[in-house]
Amino acid sequence: LNSFGTWMLIGLLVVVFIESGLLFPLLPGDSLLFTAGLIAAAKSAEVEPFAPLWVLMVTIPIAAVLGDQVGYLIGTKGGAKLFKSDDAKLFKKSYLDESHRFFLRHGPAMIFLARFVPIVRTYAPLVAGAAKMPYRVFITYNVIGGIVWGAGVTLLGYLLGQITFIADNVDYIFLLI
């Protein structure tokens, strides 16, 4: 990695980390992962890969899992404080009770599938923590989802970047994304 590539990788990982659990849902996680895969597949002089595919496939899931861990921790430590009464317009105590029942029944699927839905991806770990989803279940599906989403979307970009038309026009595709 050159120094520019190192900074690009760090920036990508920070975006994935923040979008995964720090209550800032409007970051372009999916498109960044896909684009990182496309760039890793690039073989032209105009677009130079900033990191090898294996580095992306290892570090992106780690950043995603750690981001969700922070979101879950925020939820367990302070999430329930938001849901004090049923008089509130947005954070009603009854919503938290419903969330607890939901996460007991559908929590594993929710944590896994939330990875693939941009805004839900950010808030699911917070709500899981506030709703007291069992940590062992959360961490299991957080890791599985982080690997499948982080490495999978990146690998998809890489594999599509192997197609000649896409490889020849990766700079235009990058601008389009």
**How far is 18 from 22, CA to CA, in rounded Å?**
5
- The predicted pLDDT at position 72 comes to 93
- The predicted pLDDT at position 156 comes to 93
Per-residue confidence of the chain (177 residues) as pLDDT tens digits?
667 778 889 999 999 999 887 766 667 778 889 888 988 887 655 556 678 899 999 999 999 999 999 999 988 887 766 666 666 665 666 666 777 777 777 788 889 998 988 888 888 898 888 888 899 999 999 999 999 999 999 999 999 888 888 777 767 776 776
- The predicted pLDDT at position 20 comes to 85
Compute CA 35 distance to the chain's CA centroid, rounded to the nearest angstrom.
Answer: 14
Compute CA 65 distance to the chain's CA centroid, rounded to the nearest angstrom.
Answer: 8
- Which residues, including other chains, have CB under 8 Å from residue 163's CB and lie 6 or more apart? none
- The predicted pLDDT at position 88 comes to 61
- The predicted pLDDT at position 50 comes to 77
- Which residues, including other chains, have CB under 8 Å from residue 133's CB and lie 6 or more apart? 72, 103, 104, 107, 111
- Which residues, including other chains, have CB under 8 Å from residue 166's CB and lie 6 or more apart? 38, 160, 173
Of 137, 72, 127, 124, nearest to 99 by C-alpha is 127
**How far is 69 from 110, CA to CA, in rounded Å?**
15
- The predicted pLDDT at position 121 comes to 84
Structural tokens at position 81? 């404080």
Helix (H) / strand (E) containing 81:
helix 80-82
Of 81, 94, 87, nearest to 130 by C-alpha is 81
